[in-house]
Structure 1
Amino acid sequence: MRNRVVAAAGSAGFFVLAPGIVAGLIPWLLTRWDAEPIWLPLRVIGWVVFVAAVAVLISAFARFVAEGFGTPAPVAPPQKLVVGGFYRYVRNPMYLAVLSTIIGQALILGQWILPVYAVLVSAAFYAMVRWHEEPALRRSFGSQYEVYKAAVPGWLPRIRPWQPPKSA
């Protein structure tokens, strides 16, 4: 129980710092959330994308506590490989959710700078995953991670959820 409380507190703190800065503070600094005229259906789509992305992000963070007994933060990684929830469809739902919140804000606000920012953020996310996270997961979880990586795509979600192999 204590591990989950500590993991929940760590995840909440990391949530405020990482996605809060990347998908909240920086877009605000770039736009001051000043809306430009934009076609109403695009603004509505933006809100749908934004709300769905925030829900996925919260779910993915909670999954680290409930399933992994840790946090998404590199300083307190999960004790178990997290493969449930949205992780059954794609290996990087958090990064995709953060990018989607930025795109949602771009549609809501009609601000051209936000898609440009999203491209830069996606390049940074890809580099972080490729050169830090994947090697760290391979070291921590070995063949379990390799089986997961082979079955679940990193960036384009599967249509059907992956079913982990049954443990012996």
Structure 2
Amino acid sequence: MVGMYLVSDAEVTFEITRTLNFKLFVLAVLLGVAIALAGGISFRKASTTVNPLKPETASSLVSRGIFQYTRNPMYLGMALAILGFAILLGSWLSLLGVVAFMLFIERFQIKPEEAALTERFGEQFTQYKKHVRHWL
């Protein structure tokens, strides 16, 4: 997000009005927080780990609630909040920060998590992946 801020003055903006950009920022952040919290709550209800650094300690595969629509609600929520920040900045170039986040999290967090979950839950996780997308 710091990088997004630093490049935000480097080029043409898409700001329609400061008020509209702020409203869209708030909407994106609130939606992102709600989606991320829904994922955390679903994990807590299932009494399984929320720690993304230890997916191998998951005690159950959560596929209800928000997890019916996205396999990664916490990361989706973060991406929406970052998108909101880019909208607030009103910078086309800062939108690359959202893409960079998604590519980074996909490579260094989601892939290792899904490998651990495949090892832990086998066919159950494989079937889940067939029906629910990474992001949306």
Task: Give the TM-score category using the shorter length.
Answer: 0.7 to 0.9
Q: Find the aligned partners of 1:49 and 1:60 in 2 and give their Cα distance.
A: 17
The equivalences for 1:29-48 within 5 A come to 31=5, 38=15, 39=17, 40-48=19-27
RMSD, aligned α-carbons = 2.7
For 2:37, the equivalent position in structure 1 comes to 58
The answer on whether the counterparts of 1:92 and 1:154 sit within 8 Å (CA) in structure 2 is yes
The letter for the 1-side match of 2:98 is A
Q: Which of 81, 85, 102 is the equivalent residue of 2:65? A: 85
Between 51-60 and 76-85, the greater mean CA deviation after superposition: 76-85
Q: Find the aligned partners of 2:88 and 2:107 in 1 and give their Cα distance.
A: 28
Name stretches of at least 5 consecutive residues in structure 1 with no aligned partner: 1-26, 157-168
Using CA pairs below 8 Å that are at least 6 residues apart, which structure has the higher relative contact order? 2
Question: What TM-score, normalized by structure 2, do the two folds share?
Answer: 0.78
Q: Find the aligned partners of 1:68 and 1:141 in 2 and give their Cα distance.
A: 16
SS at match of 1:123: helix
Q: Which of 67, 79, 85 is the equivalent residue of 1:99? A: 79
Indicate how the Cα distance of structure 1 residues 112 and 128 shifts in structure 2: closer, same or farther if over 3 A, else same: same
- Number of residues of Structure 1 aligned to a counterpart in Structure 2: 129
For 1:125, the equivalent position in structure 2 comes to 105
1:139 Cα deviation after fit: 0.3
1:103 Cα deviation after fit: 0.5
Question: What TM-score, normalized by structure 1, do the two folds share?
Answer: 0.65
1:111 Cα deviation after fit: 4.6
The answer on whether the counterparts of 1:88 and 1:152 sit within 8 Å (CA) in structure 2 is yes
Identical aligned residues as a percent? 25
Q: Find the aligned partners of 1:60 and 1:80 in 2 and give their Cα distance.
A: 14
